[in-house]
Amino acid sequence: MDQNIEKFDVVIIGASLSGNYLAFLLSNFNLKIAVIEEHQEIGLPFQCAGIISKKLTQLIDLPKDIILNQVKKAKIFSPSGIYIRLSGEEQPYVIDRVALDKLFYQRVKSNNKIQYYLEEKFISFKYITEKHKKSVLIETNKRKLKSKMLVGCDGPLSSVSKLMGIKNKLIYATQIRIKANFDQNEAVMWFDPKWKELFGWIVPEGNKIYRIGLGSSKNVAKNFQIFLKKLDVVFDDKLDQQGGIIPYGYMNKSAFDNILLLGDAAGQVKATTGGGVVMLLTAAKYAAFCIKNCFKNNRFSKRYIEKLYEEPCKATIGKQLKVHFLIRTFFETFTDADYDMLFQIVKANKIEEIVSLYGDMDFPREMVIKLLKNSMFIKFIIRIWRKNPLILIKILKIFI
Ligand SMILES: Cc1cc2nc3c(=O)[nH]c(=O)nc-3n(C[C@H](O)[C@H](O)[C@H](O)COP(=O)(O)OP(=O)(O)OC[C@H]3O[C@@H](n4cnc5c(N)ncnc54)[C@H](O)[C@@H]3O)c2cc1C
């Protein structure tokens, strides 16, 4: 074996939230870990609207200064401008995403078992077998590393998942931060069939600054201009601009011999909102448990990683991600008139109350079950179904 090859127990690709949080969770296990990040500074470029449910503080110990604002209510607009108003217990946080990415890096960077390689790009890997034991030989643009485990935390365009034959469907998003006079306590979503896979958003950051963005699989820049015009916002007044890519679907295959995928790389993102933070933090806990046991029991097979990581993820966040995808699959068939009809039904039949009471940004199953007990809602679903009989096949594909 080449003397210049550096040896680690775990190599993590990507030092954004998934990679840093996993390194933090593994930091007490006495493992030698390398984290490879192609950018120079952790957290940058910043690519997030930063709106995250209150589960965030149940999942991690969050310093107060990372929370910039808390949203008390939400308005959801149909394409023609009919809106429903939601208020309730949800009240998500608006966070400083750069600070959140840096938080776990700062907690582990002085740990002499964890080595960060910044401004370094993962290129490829191959399996090697020595004395009947399989491990992974990893190549970056600067070095070679040998490791028992490789973890792909390298985001929506993950090279690790591509090498495992997985390709995410992608949505493109753009966002500006701007000073304006909207409501500081209110998040806003605009639906439109033109940008059918996601929506336009206004997220109040605090101090009269708003994050206004839009996600769509095509013509994002053009659709964003239409959206800003609708809001009477001038693009050139922006403080700064962000862009980014969001995986679209529900959880991918994420366990392989000596390898696992986490976060956007594994498609652990809600198809309704593009939000991934709560999902990846939940999955990271299973990933850390799995990796710890792989080393304890000297077992690194695909089956073992499936059992300890992929299956628990699928049984928890995976189930919910399927419901998000189901909701989005319905929305994708909507015309302007369908949106208007749905919003009118919601307003006239106390469905706003159901959504306010049972709506959960991350775990929508309970709300969907309640909605399916409402006769007007069922009639609407049957109408959509009749217009698009193929939707049944799409839904069966999600759940079978
Ligand atoms: C515009 C936008 C708005 C969003 N808003 C929200 C929101 O409001 N709430 C929410 O919960 N989620 C939101 N999300 C989703 C959320 O940002 C992601 O789910 C989350 O960032 C995923 O984290 P990650 O660590 O898995 O991947 P990423 O954050 O994508 O990080 C991947 C890291 O890997 C590095 N990398 C990639 N390839 C390589 C390579 N070959 N070598 C070395 N390093 C590499 C990248 O530089 C990056 O640092 C939004 C996403 C976008 C794009």
Do residue 339 and residue 377 come from a single domain?
Answer: yes
Question: Does 173 contact ligand 1 (Cβ within 6 A)?
Answer: yes
pLDDT, mean of residues 315-331: 90
Do residue 24 and residue 104 come from a single domain?
Answer: yes
In-domain check, residue 1: no
Reduced to 3 DSSP states, what percent helix, strand and coil does the chain have, rounded to the nearest 5? 40, 25, 35
Question: Does 49 contact ligand 1 (Cβ within 6 A)?
Answer: yes
Please tell me the residue having the least CA distance from ligand 1 atom 52.
Answer: 48
Q: How many domains does the chain have?
A: 3
Do residue 111 and residue 180 come from a single domain?
Answer: no
Pocket test for ligand 1, best of 154, 161, 241 (most atoms within 8 A of CB): 154
Do residue 126 and residue 174 come from a single domain?
Answer: no
Please tell me the residue having the least CA distance from ligand 1 atom 35.
Answer: 14
State how far the Cα of 289 lies from the Cα of 222, in Å rounded to an integer: 45
Question: Does 168 contact ligand 1 (Cβ within 6 A)?
Answer: no
In-domain check, residue 375: yes
Do residue 32 and residue 123 come from a single domain?
Answer: yes
End-of-domain residue from the set 303, 318, 333: 318
Do residue 34 and residue 108 come from a single domain?
Answer: yes
Q: How many CA atoms lie within 13 A of 81 on its CB side?
A: 2
**Cα 264 to averaged position of ligand 1 atoms, centre (Å):** 6
In-domain check, residue 176: yes
What torsion do the CA atoms of 9, 14, 18, 21 make, to the nearest 10 degrees? 60
- Domain CATH code at residue 288: 3.50.50.60
**Cα 263 to averaged position of ligand 1 atoms, centre (Å):** 8
State how far the Cα of 178 lies from the Cα of 282, in Å rounded to an integer: 32
In-domain check, residue 290: yes
**Residue 370 structure tokens:** 């309640």
Pocket test for ligand 1, best of 13, 17, 48, 203 (most atoms within 8 A of CB): 48
Question: Which atom of ligand 1 sits closest to the CA of residue 173?
Answer: 1
Q: Decide if 14 contacts 120 (C-beta within 8 A).
A: no
End-of-domain residue from the set 318, 334, 364: 318
What domain range includes position 365?
324-399
pLDDT, mean of residues 36-65: 95
In-domain check, residue 36: yes
* Angle formed at CA 98 by CA 92 and CA 99, multiple of 5 degrees: 80
What pLDDT, on the 0 to 100 scale, is given for residue 148? 98
Do residue 239 and residue 136 come from a single domain?
Answer: no
pLDDT, mean of residues 210-222: 94
In-domain check, residue 90: yes
**Strand residue runs (E) in the chain:** 6-13, 33-36, 51-52, 67-70, 73-77, 83-87, 93-95, 114-117, 122-130, 133-140, 144-152, 169-179, 186-190, 200-206, 209-216, 240-248, 255-256, 259-261
- Domain CATH code at residue 216: 3.30.9.10
Do residue 216 and residue 361 come from a single domain?
Answer: no
State how far the Cα of 185 lies from the Cα of 183, in Å rounded to an integer: 5
Do residue 79 and residue 179 come from a single domain?
Answer: yes
By mean pLDDT, which of 205-214, 332-341, 368-377 is the weakest? 368-377
pLDDT, mean of residues 201-213: 96
- 357 confidence band (pLDDT: 50, 70, 90): low
Do residue 102 and residue 220 come from a single domain?
Answer: no
* Angle formed at CA 285 by CA 284 and CA 289, multiple of 5 degrees: 115
Do residue 144 and residue 176 come from a single domain?
Answer: no
Count of C-beta atoms within a 10 Å radius of residue 10:
22
Q: Does pLDDT of 87 surpass 90? A: no
Residues 5-15: tens digit of each pLDDT? 999 999 999 99
**Cα 337 to averaged position of ligand 1 atoms, centre (Å):** 34
pLDDT, mean of residues 93-118: 96
Task: Tell me if residue 385 falls in helix, strand or coil.
Answer: helix
Q: Decide if 215 contacts 221 (C-beta within 8 A).
A: no
Do residue 314 and residue 336 come from a single domain?
Answer: no
Question: Does 37 contact ligand 1 (Cβ within 6 A)?
Answer: yes
